Homo-oligomer: A and B are copies of this chain.
Amino acid sequence: MAMCSQSHLQTISIPPPSTLFLSKPSFSSVSLRSHGFKCNNSLLSKHLETEPEPVLTSVKTFAPATIANLGPGFDFLGCAVDGLGDFVSLRVDPDVRPGEIEISSINGIGDSASKLSKDPLLNCAGIGAMSAMKMLGIRSVGLSLSLDKGLPLGSGLGSSAASAAAAVVAVNEIFGRKLSDLDLVLAGLESEAVVSGYHADNIAPAIMGGFVLIRCYEPMDLIRLSFPIDKELFFVLVIPEFKTPTKKMRAVLPTEIEMSHFIWNCSQAGALVASVMQGNWRRFGLALSSDKIVEPKRAPLIPGMEAVKKAAIDAGAFGCTIGGAGPTVVAVTDDEEKGKEIGYRMVDGFINKGGLKAYAMIQRVDRVGARVVS
């Protein structure tokens, strides 16, 4: 549970709605990654006739971890992971100035609490919550927010997106669910833009659950990929004690791609989508493992990666690749017990070939996405 610590509160103003609704939102011009997409986000100018009133005085939400850059799904396909994620507790707070938000406490695993700012402008949950409040035109109610980090920072598991997703869903719940999933993704994306770049492949599955494909940013077009209810997929997530700064992992990407690799990766991207929708996890693994463009450049930056991938496949994983921008390595299987064996072997691979301590987890796909927990 989040702890309240009023002495550390910092506030941020929400501008009056006239500013919000008559002009393009300020974050329409966020700088894009070199290979990102332009977006004018006209959907953020949501025009509610009246300012909604709170329907709850407090709410606690959860948003799951996510894996983006799923092999050939680089930069457009992400998936939510069950059992890991962040919690946000949000409450109507008469001590907070109307239209403003405060971060009262941050708790969590590892060094996350000490490394994150309580300035809502510099905190994923704060920016996300603020963005959702702007979208709703909230100017008469102040909110205070507590963040419980269940995800390590910089692991490649969508830590920033989980915080933002939990926050935007919490705001929406407090004010009676006026925002659609698409609105919530756009609100959360404002946070991602500040923290890690204008990309929706973590925030969209963190909010919507399951696999989500981002077809277009302008206008935003998201495709939820459903898969058969009786076909369970398990991710084997192996997290080494190692840092892979996103900036460094982006710097090694090629600027130009040869035609044969382009065609190959496009066909694997299509196969990845088809095999999700068919629940064909064996083929999903084959496609996941076969990226010829991004993984070959990034893998050498993670000590032992090649051996870890080989260990996963040798132990029966259907496929294996880097999660997000690393260092988490993700393998897939349809059998939880086999997943444990795969995990042991991968951890051994990191120790023996990479000289890195690592730990493994076996997790299902989260089919639900961000939700209320109390």
A residues lining the B interface (CB < 8 Å): 34-37, 72-77, 213-216, 221, 223, 225, 253-260, 262-275, 277-278, 283, 286-287, 293
The answer to whether residues A260 and B35 also contact, given A223-B274, A270-B270 and a CB cut-off of 8 A, is yes
Enumerate chain B residues within 8 angstroms of A275, measured Cβ to Cβ: 223
Q: How far is the CB of A77 from chain B (nearest CB, A)?
A: 6
Contact A263 B74 (CB under 8 A): yes
Give 9 A-B pairs besides A213-B271, A266-B269 with Cβ atoms closer than 8 angstroms.
A72-B266, A73-B270, A215-B267, A221-B286, A223-B274, A223-B283, A255-B258, A270-B272, A274-B277
In the bound complex, residues from chain B placing their C-beta under 8 Å from that of A74 are: 263, 266
A232-B75 Cα distance, complex, nearest whole Å: 31
Query: How many monomers of this chain does the complex have?
Result: 2
**Residue from B35, B37, B254, B286 within 8 A of A215 (CB atoms):** B286
Given A255-B258, A262-B293: A271 touches B223 (CB 8 Å cut-off):
yes
Set of chain B residues within 8 Å of A267, measured between Cβ atoms: 75-77, 213-216, 269
Q: Which residues from B are CB-within-8-Å of A76?
A: 263, 266-267, 270
Q: Which of B215, B255, B268 contacts A271 (CB 8 A)?
A: B215
Expressed in whole angstroms, the minimum distance between the Cβ of A297 and any Cβ of chain B is 11
Q: How many whole Å from A149's CB to the nearest CB in chain B?
A: 30
In the complex, the answer to whether A257 meets B259 with C-beta atoms within 8 Å is: yes
Is the pair B268, A265 in contact by a Cβ cutoff of 8 Å?
no
> Which B residue's beta carbon lies closest to that of A254?
B259
| Complex CA–CA separation, A215 to B271 (angstroms) | 6
Which residues of the partner chain B approach A270 to less than 8 Å between Cβ atoms?
A: 73, 76-77, 213, 215, 223, 269-270, 272-273
